Amino acid sequence: MQQLACGALKKMRTELADTVQYYMPIGDQEIHLNDLIGSHISLSYQGAINCTHCGRKTNKSFNQGYCYPCFKKLPQCDQCIVKPELCHYHEGSCRDATWGEQFCLQDHYVYLANSSGVKVGITRGTQIPTRWMDQGAVQALPILKVSTRLQSGKVERLIGEHVADKTNWRKMLKNEVDDLNLSEIRDQLFDQCTEGLTALENEYGIQAIQRLLDAEQIEINYPVLNYPQKVTSFNFDKTETVEGVLQGIKGQYLILDTGVINIRKFTAYQVALSA
């Protein structure tokens, strides 16, 4: 086998096309993975993790690629990133006000996606459709545009009382997903959430929370030859070398004939890719 790249691993970059195109950044190189589907590949952990922010060597990765000091101080590692309804910028306690202004005080979209069944989620406009491809969604539809991350979190929590806000990653990888009409589901959810949405519109203003009734559902196809019947996941902390025939890619997972691995989970790990 020939080594193609070696260095710090980052989450795969995607491009939306008839079939999603995947690129794996390793160190200062980027490998087009679609070309390797059907080939025997190997990912070998080199025994080192360097914080994706400060470069410090760390024995453990926190929040997908950070050392512990950065995890405790950086705004992108705060609890409100996972639970945006807890955004506290308006309280003056953001870990970095400049970062908060750039990332939280901008338009966000509330969307429906079908990865393992319908789910609700939020993302910045700049992350459409990347967010959906990272989750392995086969269908997606933006349903609301809101002015801040805090507002998006409150809307997501409201709609999350009626649909899931998590992906069943095993079902997603097995492709156990039915086609859905997300526009019909959106309309049903708007009816179910009328009182709560009206209250948020009254609180923040109609212009701050806009319903996207004309948005079109998109369909996403992934480069997969064979989906696994049973999902076995690899972990570099337990298995230094992961290898097998690359059957496909979906979400941030490589699907091998020997198991699957979540590339994003191992951001900042030093690895070597061979094929």
User: What one-character-per-residue DSSP string does 69-107 give?
Assistant: HHHHH-GGGSHHHHSGGG--GGGT--S-HHHHHHHTSS-
Return the structure tokens found at 91.
Answer: 């309280």
DSSP assigned state of 171: H
Distance CA 104, CA 152 (A): 10
CA triple 132-151-183, angle to 5 deg: 45
pTM for this predicted structure: 0.94
Is 207 exposed, middle or buried (CB count within 10 Å of its CB: 0-12, 13-18, 19+)?
exposed
Tens-digit pLDDT string for the chain (275 aa): 999 999 999 999 999 999 999 999 999 999 999 999 999 999 999 999 999 999 999 999 999 999 999 999 999 999 999 999 999 998 999 999 999 999 999 999 999 999 999 999 999 999 999 999 999 999 999 999 999 999 999 999 999 999 998 999 999 999 999 999 999 999 999 999 999 999 999 999 989 999 999 999 999 999 999 999 999 999 999 999 999 999 999 999 999 999 999 999 999 999 999 99
In the DSSP assignment, the letter for residue 12 is P
Which residues lie closer than 8 Å to 5 by C-beta, 6 or more apart?
24, 26, 27, 29, 31, 272, 273
The predicted structure's pLDDT at residue 206: 87
Burial class from Cβ neighbours inside 10 Å (0-12, 13-18, 19+) for residue 213 reads exposed
